[in-house]
Structure 1
């Protein structure tokens, strides 16, 4: 399949007998550096109806045309899992909320249009004809923000509320209907970790970078030891265990702005969702994607906001909230920061601060060039900040 072609597009969108696709246009959606795990296409479809033509503006997520990237992201598994998230899990969580009379149900996920893992449908292996079709949020005036600047306080608050809901709703479902959670959600949760060869390449990149930053040289052993933690088996602590996004970096959030201020956020890219601690998403999001000055001044405020929202959602869904104290949440955050998230953040700073125009196209990614661009001063400053904050909090 051509990277800018979708076979049998008419079978992906359920239109009904009275409607028919009469035209469509497909083109690349994202520039190099904006997306790493899949190929993103914009799909504009003209549909003929009995009363005239309608336009559907969609985004197609397709299998990356690169075997190395498919291996990195375990595409045969993660692509199928992401389809299940949009097609089955989100409606299940929304219906659960409605059953409890909740009016403000999960609405930070793009609208799902259709999907397949191959031309045979949902059976068989994921191949190059696999497609996940969702609404094009840019048509609805959603936009990404500058990935190198880091989010301001208002944006960070929006996202912390959304993350609290993303974590709390499935947790409540697990507590009330454990058999449904086990059957309908758990099978599509997979904890992603880099393979040993990938980790070795990443370690070399980080080691070279630390050698180039005088301020970090005294901490090199601590930094590399903490980076290696991501390769160790992880314990799942059942009290807080829920759906975790695992890829909460700046480019996976889109925002609707009014008078230059964010009023709503959307979270995308659920391919590496797992079953585990919400602390993973909290630590990774805050230290990869929030402005340093905001984090220094408002870290505690953001954690408190998350916890207040988390408890409020659980209460709406009839849960006993006694086990989920603020102190218990802090322990979860501390555990995940020490256990898994330093390596996650340290690696992700490479794509976040990749200079525009220096990132390879996804079709050309290899172990050697995926993060081989020149390291900017902004990247170095951010790494110094992260290391110092993790040391200050006794996380590394």
Structure 2
């Protein structure tokens, strides 16, 4: 039995509609059969932590004979504003994340179980999904609340420690290793994922987004005004082609087979939760699979390392964390019964870094404005969507994503990324 209570502070369009609430009611009845319960919807994130999905914590109070107890889960829904859904490409992102939870991650679990891989050694760094609805305008994803297990988001304005980065490298290594092993042993199982069209490729003919990305190039070049002529010349040469042409070539997995895998795709700190014990990191979970893509494993690594670590960190630890990644990749491919020296030898990994490393700069151009902006400075996304919809040219400053509060931090980090990519030989 049930008795539902809803917190409705805020715009009505941001709250679950009746179809989603009915699905929630049915889910809770399945999870807590023959029990009386009430629930409350509470915001699960702060402003600026999510741009595509709206997250709620469903706080459940159970009335049992021995006394009250509490539980919770997470509900993720898209905004219902048609303009925002269009400009932020909401529905394709939700369908992509649904594909991850309904098909890809269950396949990973099944394959690892077939090899008797224990939880200690397998890839399990994701939240359990309880229910998904993909009907248009009624989309919803119900997930376990990782906070119940003491997982927490890292403050994106703090510096990640070596132990954080090392654990992320291990998680991505295991994730990518499963794809390599499945391709080796059950190649047809990955056929569907080889054929998925990248979310960004679906937007390549959008003139407003093309204008925005071309504006990112100009903003990045402006960050280099005080640097040497060499860096400016290399960057100008790299930017001669349209942004989309450069980007889509670098993330196209099918173009560079056989060294492509199913990637997480959205590898920044707000999509990773860490768990601690006695001040040490002991576990993590990867969130937000809405940019799941078939690409080189290097795309995940470059995205994370160049948007979530500092130049100072990379100067000291860059080679070491890449070595940790590759060593764990080799170990897990072996655990899964395949030969890593055949599937992804170290020299090929190094070649992929050199061929694909430039994608680090492009991801940084897209993500660093979001990473560096403070919650109180995040622009109104509904208003931003309306401005883009009317064809108004939007660059970083006009969008509000680059403002007084983050312009200096963004400028420094962007310059550092450009310099590191050039010094590493990724951009020539």
| Band of TM-score, shorter chain | 0.7 to 0.9
Q: Who is 1:40 aligned against?
A: 55
- For residue 258 of structure 1, what is the aligned residue in structure 2? 277
Q: Closer, same or farther in 2 for the Cα pair 1:257/1:395, shift >3 Å? A: same
Which structure 1 residue ranges, 5 or more long, are not aligned? 119-125
Q: Say yes or no: does 1:376 pair with 2:407.
A: yes
Counterpart Cα distance in 2 of 1:144 and 1:344: 21
Q: Identify the range of structure 1 (270-279 vs 145-154) with the bigger mean alpha-carbon deviation.
A: 145-154
Q: What is the distance in 2 between the residues matched to 1:292 and 1:174?
A: 35
- Cα RMSD of the aligned pairs, angstroms, is 2.6
Give the alignment of 1:284-323 within 5 angstroms: 284-323=303-342
Counterparts of 2:159 and 2:80, CA distance in 1: 30
What is the CA–CA distance in structure 2 between the aligned matches of 1:381 and 1:28, rounded to whole Å?
33
State which drifts further: 16-25 or 84-93: 16-25
Helix, strand or coil at the partner of 1:168: helix
Q: Secondary structure at the match of 1:46?
A: strand
Aligned to 1:357: 376
* Number of aligned positions between the proteins: 386
Spell out, residue by residue over 1:95-152, the C-alpha distance to the aligned partner (whole angstroms, 9 max, x if none). 211211211332210121211113xxxxxxx22x211011122232221222133422
Higher helix fraction: Structure 1 or Structure 2?
2
Larger deviation, residues 72-81 vs 155-164:
72-81
User: Post-superposition shift, 1:303?
Assistant: 0.9
Q: Quick one: which of 172, 179, 188 aligns to 2:188?
A: 179
Equivalent pair of 1:108/1:266 in contact (CA under 8 Å): yes
8 Å CA contact 1:19–1:47 kept in 2: the answer is no
Corresponding residue for 2:7? Answer: none
Residue 230 (structure 1) aligned with residue 238 (structure 2): no
Q: Determine if the alignment matches structure 1 residue 221 to structure 2 residue 241.
A: no
SS at match of 1:254: strand
| Pair 1:325 & 2:339 matched | no
Deviation of 1:27 (Å) = 2.3
CA distance in 2, matches of 1:227, 1:380: 22
Bigger drift between 95-104 and 207-216 goes to: 207-216
CA distance in 2, matches of 1:312, 1:231: 31
Q: Distance in 2 between matches of 1:81 and 1:21?
A: 35
Equivalent residue number for residue 122 of structure 1: none
8 Å CA contact retained: 1:81, 1:189: no
2:42 corresponds to 1:27: yes
Report if aligned partners of 1:173, 1:181 keep a CA contact under 8 Å in 2.
yes
- Specify whether residues 392 and 226 from structure 1 end up closer, same or farther in structure 2 by C-alpha distance, changes over 3 A only: farther
Cα gap change, 1:365 to 1:27, in 2 (>3 Å): farther
Residue 305 (structure 1) shift: 0.7
- d(CA) in 2 for partners of 1:143 and 1:277? 29
User: Is the partner of 1:322 in helix, strand or coil?
Assistant: helix
Normalised to the residue count of structure 1, the TM-score between the two structures is 0.88
Runs of 4+ deviating beyond 6 Å: 49-52
Q: 1:307: how far off? A: 0.6
- Scaled by the length of structure 2, what TM-score is found? 0.82
Q: How far off its partner does 1:72 sit?
A: 4.5
Structure 2 CA distance for aligned equivalents of residues 347 and 216 of structure 1: 21
Give the corresponding residue for 2:33.
Answer: 18
